[in-house]
Amino acid sequence: DQQVKQNSPSLSVQEGRISILNCDYTNSMFDYFLWYKKYPAEGPTFLISISSIKDKNEDGRFTVFLNKSAKHLSLHIVPSQPGDSAVYFCAATLVKTDKIIFGKGTRLHILP
């Protein structure tokens, strides 16, 4: 069963607009959530994270929102740039473990 779900396989956004990537999870024992970005033929790159005790974390153009009651998080990228075109993985870690559980990813296309 998929504990971290990214239901949109792909998303296209106009350059300069806001990109919103969504993620749902099922395990209430997750204590840390992360977003990774992946270009073809490269490994995933850590982007931003949020602790389960927070509801928002911002880093430059990237903001992650966490809604624990809905078991939902989202990544906002504003403004979107051509270099943001990549696959974005939502991920989570369980209390007292270090293994990351990844979603299937969402491919983001930034249109000129």
Tokens, residue 15: 């350059």
Does 89 contact another protein by CB under 8 A? yes
What residues between 20 and 79 interact with another protein by CB under 8 A?
32, 34, 36, 41-46, 49
Residue from 71, 74, 101, 109 in contact with another protein (CB under 8 A): 101
Residue from 11, 20, 78, 100 in contact with another protein (CB under 8 A): 100
Instruction: For residue 13, give the nearest of 87, 83, 112, 103 by alpha carbon.
Output: 112
Task: Provide, rounded to whole angstroms, the least separation between the CB of residue 79 and another protein.
Answer: 25
| C-alpha neighbours within 13 Å on the C-beta side of residue 48 | 18
Pairing relation of β-strands 86-94 and 100-102?
antiparallel
Task: Provide, rounded to whole angstroms, the least separation between the CB of residue 6 and another protein.
Answer: 8
